[in-house]
């Protein structure tokens, strides 16, 4: 059995369907720079949003199983689609290793911060259709008004490096206009319900104005990770900056090119980068109910 000290020195595991979860990794790195981080991007099967729920749960179980056997002390699901579909299954399957998703922290923060009781949520189509944010927000405050909007072009914008400028703001305006078209009935908080979206934060703020508070679920998730590790006495005691190991399930070339939009170049230069095959290594699991 691991002692609390040896357990505290284990890495934090983070997984996503691709590169978007690197915003969560970045937020955790900023908040907890001395933690060792192990990131797995399931790039061979991205995007999860077009897959069935059963497939997403199975993929999430495979990725988590791999990270679990690397000796992690906490698992972060840095993917909204996987969180909506598989959080409960993973929490049951890997107990007592804590599993944190990206939906609940952002919803809780928005429910606590809104002054007018109206919260906007933008995400991918699959996340919006799942109503996962609506359910999470209403768990914290059943009286909230929620305006949700799918923004399918935001992910390709980010992955192509289009983060600002008139064209980007025109696209943002196109998607957000339905939520903010009535000045007397608009959200005062906007949840970024996709881990790619924080890279568009400045452009989004330019479009919606400074009076609307943007809730970045990457940072709210990092806050919850810090809170949990502190409460459990599992913060890494090392003084030096933690190691970063990045795993992916497809060739690393495109992944790393896009990763440079999310991470500091020194971070990627010093990271250990590997390609893994989850199925060939025996992590073929059935859905757990």
Do residues 71 and 83 share a domain?
yes
- Write down which residue in 196, 218, 240 finishes a domain: 218
Q: How far apart are CA 96 and CA 93, in angstroms?
A: 9
Evaluate whether residue 250 is within a structural domain: yes
How many CB atoms are located within 10 Å of the residue 266 CB? Answer: 8
Residue 260, CA atoms < 13 Å, CB-side half-sphere: 10
**pLDDT class of 3 with cuts at 50, 70, 90:** low
DSSP calls for 39-78: EEE-TTS--GGGS-HHHHHHHHHHHHHHHHTTT-SEEEE-
Do residues 97 and 116 share a domain?
no
Where are any strands of DSSP class E within the chain? 12-16, 37-41, 74-77, 99-101, 118-123, 145-150, 189-192, 213-216, 244-248, 272-275
Query: Could you say which of 121, 122, 194, 259 is catalytic?
Result: 194
Average pLDDT estimate for 152-169: 93
Average pLDDT estimate for 219-238: 95
Do residues 238 and 142 share a domain?
no
- Non-local (6+) Cβ contacts of 194 within 8 A are 20, 80, 122, 123, 124, 127, 151, 154, 155
Query: Could you say which of 79, 122, 123, 214 is catalytic?
Result: 79
Do residues 137 and 196 share a domain?
yes
Evaluate whether residue 283 is within a structural domain: no
What does pTM read for this prediction? 0.90
Is position 151 annotated as part of the catalytic site? no
Q: Looking at the predicted structure, is the pLDDT value of residue 280 above 90?
A: no
The token duo for 279 is 């199925």
- Write down which residue in 218, 234, 249 finishes a domain: 218
State pLDDT tens for residues 109-141. 999 999 999 999 999 988 999 999 999 999 999
How high does pLDDT run on average in the chain?
Answer: 91
Do residues 109 and 193 share a domain?
yes
Average pLDDT estimate for 232-247: 94
Return the pLDDT at 4: 57
Is position 189 annotated as part of the catalytic site? no
Evaluate whether residue 286 is within a structural domain: no
Do residues 132 and 205 share a domain?
yes
CB distance 203 to 179 below 8 Å: no
For the chain, the domain total comes to 2
Evaluate whether residue 85 is within a structural domain: yes
Do residues 224 and 206 share a domain?
no
**Domain CATH for 131:** 3.40.50.1860
Do residues 88 and 23 share a domain?
yes
Q: Which domain, by its residues, includes 44?
A: 4-101+220-275
């Amino acid at each position: 059995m691991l002692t609390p000290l040896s357990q505290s020195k284990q890495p934090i595991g983070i997984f996503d369907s691709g590169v978007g979860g690197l915003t969560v990794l970045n937020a955790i790195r900023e908040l907890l720079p001395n933690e060792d981080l192990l990131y797995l991007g399931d790039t061979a099967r991205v995007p999860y949003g077009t897959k069935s729920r059963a497939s997403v749960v199975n993929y999430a179980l495979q990725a988590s199983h791999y990270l679990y056997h690397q000796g992690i002390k906490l698992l972060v699901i840095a993917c909204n689609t996987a969180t909506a579909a598989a959080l409960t299954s993973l929490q049951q399957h890997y107990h007592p290793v804590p599993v944190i998703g990206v939906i609940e922290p952002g919803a809780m923060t928005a429910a606590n911060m809104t002054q007018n009781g109206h919260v906007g949520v933008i995400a991918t189509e699959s996340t919006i259709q799942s109503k996962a944010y609506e359910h999470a927000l209403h768990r914290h405050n059943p009286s909230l008004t929620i305006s949700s909007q799918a923004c399918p072009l935001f992910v390709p914008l980010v992955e192509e490096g289009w983060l600002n400028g008139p064209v980007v703001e025109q696209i943002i305006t196109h998607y957000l206009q339905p939520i903010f078209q009535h000045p007397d009935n608009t959200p005062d908080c906007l949840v970024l319900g996709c881990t790619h979206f924080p890279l568009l934060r400045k452009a989004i703020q330019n479009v919606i104005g400074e009076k609307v508070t943007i809730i970045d679920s990457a940072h709210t998730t990092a806050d919850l990770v810090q809170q949990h590790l502190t409460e459990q006495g599992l913060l890494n005691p090392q003084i030096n900056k933690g190691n970063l190991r990045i795993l992916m399930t497809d060739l690393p070339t495109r992944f790393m090119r896009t990763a440079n939009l999310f991470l500091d170049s020194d971070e990627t230069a010093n990271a250990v980068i590997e390609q893994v095959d989850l199925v060939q290594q025996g992590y073929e699991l059935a859905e757990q109910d």
